Amino acid sequence: MLAQIRHLLSQFFSKSRTINNEPLNKVSLIVIILIDIFIAINVFAGLDDISQWYISPSQAYPCYFEWENYRKDTTNDKDYRIVRLAFSYDTSDRFSFQQTYQKAEEGHLGRVSKTCLRYGDYKDKINNSENQQIIKTIDRKQSEISTIEQNNRNIRAQYDSTLLEKIAGQPRERSINLIAAEKAKQELERNNRQISTLKKDISNLKNKLVTKPESVSFIAFLKDGEKFREVEGGYQQASFWYPSIQLAFQSLFLVPLILIALSVHNFGQRKGYGLISLMSWHLLVIFFIPLILKIFEFLQIGAIFRFIFDIIRTLFGGLLFLLSYVYILLIPPIGFGIIKFFQKIVFNTKSQAASRVQKSRCIKCAKKIRPHDSYCPHCGYYQYIECQHCNNLTYKHLPYCKQCGSAQNLDNL
DSSP conformational letter for 87: S
What is the full DSSP assignment across 202-225? HHHHHHHHHTSHHHHHHHHHHT-H
Instruction: Note the Cα 363 to chain centre separation in Å.
Output: 48
pLDDT attached to residue 258: 85
CB of 15 within 8 A of CB of 268? no
Between 274-299 and 2-16, two packed helices, what is the crossing angle to 10 degrees? 130
d(CA 280, CA 261): 5
CB-count burial class (<10 Å; 0-12, 13-18, 19+) for 330: middle
User: Does position 339 have pLDDT exceeding 50, yes or no?
Assistant: yes
Rounded percentage of the chain residues whose pLDDT exceeds 70: 71
What is the average pLDDT across 129-142? Answer: 91
pLDDT digits 0-9 by tens, 277-307? 777 878 888 887 888 777 766 665 544 445 5
Rounded percentage of the chain residues whose pLDDT exceeds 90: 16
Who's near 285: CB < 8 A, 6+ residues apart?
Answer: 16
Q: Distances from the Cα of 207 to the Cαs of 76, 99, 203, in angstroms?
A: 12, 29, 6
pLDDT digits 0-9 by tens, 174-195? 444 444 556 777 788 888 899 9
pLDDT attached to residue 321: 61
The band of 205, judged by pLDDT with boundaries at 50, 70 and 90, is very high
d(CA 325, CA 254): 10
Give the 3-state secondary structure of residue 390: coil
pLDDT attached to residue 303: 41
Range 352-358 contact pairs with CB under 8 angstroms and sequence separation of 24 or more: 353/395, 353/396, 353/397, 353/398, 354/398, 357/395, 357/398
Q: Distances from the Cα of 157 to the Cαs of 15, 172, 177, 277, 400, in angstroms?
A: 79, 17, 10, 82, 104
Which run of H or E residues covers position 11? helix 2-16
Helix ranges (DSSP H) in 168-180: none
pLDDT digits 0-9 by tens, 77-106? 899 999 998 887 555 556 788 888 888 888
What is the identity of the amino acid at 222?
Answer: L
How many other CB atoms are there within 10 angstroms of residue 233's CB atom?
Answer: 11
User: Does position 241 have pLDDT exceeding 70, yes or no?
Assistant: yes
CB of 60 within 8 A of CB of 117? no
Who's near 106: CB < 8 A, 6+ residues apart?
Answer: 317, 318
pLDDT attached to residue 158: 65
CB-count burial class (<10 Å; 0-12, 13-18, 19+) for 46: buried
- What is the C-alpha end-to-end distance of the chain, expressed in Å? 43
Sign of dihedral through CA atoms 88, 90, 94, 97? negative
The residue that leads in pLDDT, 328 or 333, is 333
Among the listed residues 37, 38, 44, the one whose alpha carbon sits nearest the alpha carbon of residue 294: 44
Which run of H or E residues covers position 395? strand 393-395
Lowest-confidence segment of 17-21, 47-51, 63-67, 168-172 by average pLDDT? 168-172
pLDDT attached to residue 178: 43
The band of 23, judged by pLDDT with boundaries at 50, 70 and 90, is low
pLDDT attached to residue 167: 43
Lowest-confidence segment of 7-16, 279-288, 305-314, 328-337 by average pLDDT? 7-16
User: Does position 392 have pLDDT exceeding 80, yes or no?
Assistant: yes
Categorise residue 159: left if φ over 0, alpha if ψ from -120 to 50, beta otherwise.
alpha
Instruction: Note the Cα 52 to chain centre separation in Å.
Output: 11
The band of 319, judged by pLDDT with boundaries at 50, 70 and 90, is low
pLDDT attached to residue 21: 54
Backbone angles phi, psi at 95, to 5 degrees: -105, 145
